[in-house]
Structure 1
């Protein structure tokens, strides 16, 4: 179990416990957190689960693969250093304390 903080674009914070083995996207979906649409259901076939990872966490996450990198090209205002797709971030104890911020919109 990891405690993850999701911050909406307007600054509203949601701190939730997400079970190990789920993705950060599933944690948002299961806790009804607005701002992550996840249109493809986690198949890395869209960019509607895009977030900006807190700078303190960017180097702690596993590197993204080529498919995630390609999908981020379709995200709204991607940040080359902080953007990630939450469907590609598997929750483990190592992610306890992760903070992510949603963009203004998902496309």
Structure 2
């Protein structure tokens, strides 16, 4: 299980425990965290679970694959380094302490 901090665009923080094997997106959805819409349900077919990863975590996450990179082109104000799709981040003990910030909006 990993403790993940989701930060809304306005700064409100939600710290939740997410079970290993789920995705960071499922952790937000299952805990009612606003700002992650997850329209495609985790199929990497939209960009509505886009977040900015805390700079301290960028190099600690698995690399983006081509599909995620392509879908991030459709995200609202993507950042080449910090933007990730939470449906592509599988939770494990290694993600304990992860911080992600939602963009102003999802498109």
> TM-score, structure 2 length as denominator?
1.00
**Structure 1 spans left out of the alignment, 5+ residues:** none
Matches within 5 A, 1:45-56: 45-56=45-56
How many equivalent residue pairs?
A: 107
Q: How does 1:11-50 map to 2 (within 5 A)?
A: 11-50=11-50
Give TM-score scaled by structure 1 length: 1.00
Between the aligned partners of 1:16 and 1:84, the Cα distance in structure 2 is 19
- Structure 2: how far apart are the matches of 1:8 and 1:56? 18
Counterpart secondary structure, 1:16 = strand
Partner SS, residue 4 of structure 2: strand
What is the root-mean-square deviation in Å for CA atoms of aligned residues?
Answer: 0.1
Moved over 3 A (4+): none
